[in-house]
Structure 1
């Protein structure tokens, strides 16, 4: 395993770092001010569109889609350090470069499983950043960590599918530019194989019977980076059979194919969030005095910073190894490593952010610094894309199986 950045990665890293320093970080406060002044909190502030135009001009667009003619053609290993840099400003950088969830995962699904018509109608405008999208899987009334529990029905009626069910924490659904939902539901609820009961269909947002009932907050935050989260009701929403993605009863497999890259992308960005936390800790430590000396001279603060650096270096190596394995043996071959980073990364980054907040005192939980919002995002990832306990259970079973 050689994790040395190749020439293409180094070139993109330099360009992305310059873009972050010159445009993204200065725009963070501007975006907050613009969002507070506009009628809809979910619409992209004008500065975001300016950032998107600048990112495209610099060739920093659709970097996330590995090995595809639709994207930049980067491998997972090439993309990892780039996603880390974007993670330093998760509210702006991924959106500015068209690398924000849930659009990334939806584009991957359409690129891999969508037919020519679906790609023309939905993938192309998503790749162009002209529209946003949402992925509707999680439900409030069942334990959605086990996707076989999903109760939303997708029933065949002649040349249509009729979708009925209630979803929540549907990322992207609150954004006014959200035009399409990828909805997972059951077409064969009585099928013998619990993992062959589900299908995925494309449901345009303006379909009669689709109602966004409320916005869902995350630790009190609106989470604008994903276009907000929503509770959505599908009340006999009717779409053509041609809107089926892949084959009927193939929804569970598509979901697993979608979530693998999504999990590692989250972990890549989390490392960037941790790096920003370390930077903020150090800046605070050298600029504040307490009990007759700077915080940087306090032993406990030194321990926090040292421990954070060690943890980030460990996590980065594990994420890079996982990216390398996904490139060389595929997502299925890297299953154990994907689960390992999904367990370790959010948990560790939450701890680093917690110490950074402590170092900032009251300011750490305020809107004057990004730490509280970063903490909320990191803590949520201990639940999103499968809670820690599900991954631990599966990982333990794989380890124990070796000895049976």
Structure 2
């Protein structure tokens, strides 16, 4: 396995970092001011998106695009270091049209949309003209097991009728969110993994109600992590994505790359936190010497560097595997990074916050926001415990196929009677 960056990727890293430094970072304060004043979307986002698109820094996450689909056509391994750079600013990925949940939704539509669905929804998303939401998780069941979902999608003639309640639906409060991809049960009597289907639901369809925008650890996201009800929502049969009963398989296809995208951005957030920690530790003095000269702080810096580099290497390995053997064969590594990286993310941010003292809790640094989102990622796309269970199951299966390790034991043989 070779994780070295190609010359093309090195050039893109330089260009993305340059764009961030020149156009995104100077807007951080303005973004905060406008959002806190209730102005969303922010006034400059469309200008930045147009500029990124003009510079060829657009749709960097899709490796295979049709001729009429705008993008840079990168592998997952190529995209990883670019997503890391974007992850330094929580809202930056939208500038490059690489933001969740739109990326996962575009991947789904790219793979499974009908020609009509492609024209109506995929192309506007690829051009950044609209936003979208993915409605799977529900408040009344354990959504870590997607077979539990209760939302009902019932066919009546040429229409599907949808009834259910979803929550933590990212983007549902965004004014430009024009379509939901809703997962529900079309056949509750089928085999457990064939009960679910996905359907495209325009956001202005009667019967959809955004009940509330749920705060995450008391942080409110302007695009929303919303609770949404669907009451007798009717859409044409042509809005079915894929075929009836394919919803679970579609969800797995969507979540594989999406999980590593989250991890890539987390590495960037952790890297920024470490840089801020070092700068603060060097400039701040306590008890006659800089904080970096105190043993505990030095250990935190070293631990953070080790953890970030370990996590990055595992993310790059996972990206390489997805590119070369596919999502299914990389499922253990996908679960490994999903269980590992958010904890690295929050640990490094937590240390940096401690070094900053009270300032680390304030909006004067990005650390509190980054920590909050890192903590949320321990649930997003499956909680840690589910991924750890997956890793354990696959490890046990692998071990069963190998010669027994018991041969290495040196315990004395029992005497025979």
Work out whether the TM-score is over 0.5: yes
Q: Give 1:330 shift.
A: 0.5
Counterpart for residue 238 of structure 1: 234
Q: Give 1:347 shift.
A: 1.1
Partner Cα separation in structure 2 for residue 349 and residue 171 of structure 1: 21
Q: Give 1:57 shift.
A: 2.0
Counterpart for residue 151 of structure 2: 152
Instruction: List, as ranges, runs of 4+ consecutive aligned residues in structure 1 with deviation greater than 4 Å.
Output: none
Counterpart for residue 219 of structure 2: 221
> 1:298 pairs with 288, 294, 298, which one?
294
Counterpart for residue 73 of structure 1: 73
Contact 2:281 2:291 in 1 (8 A): yes
Partner Cα separation in structure 1 for residue 399 and residue 122 of structure 2: 45
Partner Cα separation in structure 1 for residue 343 and residue 35 of structure 2: 30
Which aligned pairs between 1:179-258 and structure 2 lie closer than 5 A? 179-191=178-190, 193-224=191-222, 227-258=223-254
Matched, 1:15 2:50: no
Q: Give 1:383 shift.
A: 0.8
Partner Cα separation in structure 1 for residue 78 and residue 355 of structure 2: 34
Matched, 1:395 2:391: yes
Partner Cα separation in structure 1 for residue 292 and residue 96 of structure 2: 36
Contact 2:56 2:72 in 1 (8 A): no
Counterpart for residue 259 of structure 2: 263
Counterpart for residue 123 of structure 1: 122
Counterpart for residue 36 of structure 1: 36
> 2:349 pairs with 341, 353, 358, which one?
353
Write out per-residue CA displacement over residues 125-155 of structure 1, whole angstroms, 9 at most, x where no aligned residue.
1111111100000000000001000000000
Q: Give 1:376 shift.
A: 0.5
Write out per-residue CA displacement over residues 269-325 of structure 1, whole angstroms, 9 at most, x where no aligned residue.
000001000110011011111111111111111110011011111111111110000
SS at match of 1:284: helix
The structure with the larger Rg is 2
Partner Cα separation in structure 1 for residue 157 and residue 261 of structure 2: 40
Q: Give 1:223 shift.
A: 2.4
Q: How many residues align?
A: 397
SS at match of 1:332: coil
Write out per-residue CA displacement over residues 212-234 of structure 1, whole angstroms, 9 at most, x where no aligned residue.
1111111111224xx22111000
Partner Cα separation in structure 1 for residue 23 and residue 288 of structure 2: 38
Write out per-residue CA displacement over residues 217-268 of structure 1, whole angstroms, 9 at most, x where no aligned residue.
11111224xx221110000100000000001000000000000011000000
Write out per-residue CA displacement over residues 183-240 of structure 1, whole angstroms, 9 at most, x where no aligned residue.
000001111x11100000000011011111111111111224xx22111000010000
Counterpart for residue 106 of structure 2: 107
Partner Cα separation in structure 1 for residue 61 and residue 220 of structure 2: 24
Contact 2:102 2:125 in 1 (8 A): yes
Counterpart for residue 337 of structure 1: 333
Moved more, 362-371 or 61-70: 61-70
> 1:315 pairs with 303, 311, 315, which one?
311
Q: TM-score, normalised by structure 1?
A: 0.97
Contact 1:282 1:305 in 2 (8 A): yes
Contact 1:30 1:47 in 2 (8 A): no
Partner Cα separation in structure 2 for residue 122 and residue 375 of structure 1: 33
Q: Give 1:8 shift.
A: 1.6
SS at match of 1:266: helix
Matched, 1:276 2:272: yes
Contact 2:260 2:319 in 1 (8 A): yes
Structure 1: tracts of 5 or more residues without a match: none
Contact 2:170 2:225 in 1 (8 A): yes
Q: TM-score, normalised by structure 2?
A: 0.94
Contact 1:346 1:382 in 2 (8 A): yes
Partner Cα separation in structure 2 for residue 4 and residue 144 of structure 1: 37
Counterpart for residue 48 of structure 1: 45
Partner Cα separation in structure 2 for residue 363 and residue 274 of structure 1: 18
Q: CA RMSD in A?
A: 1.0
Q: Give 1:165 shift.
A: 0.1
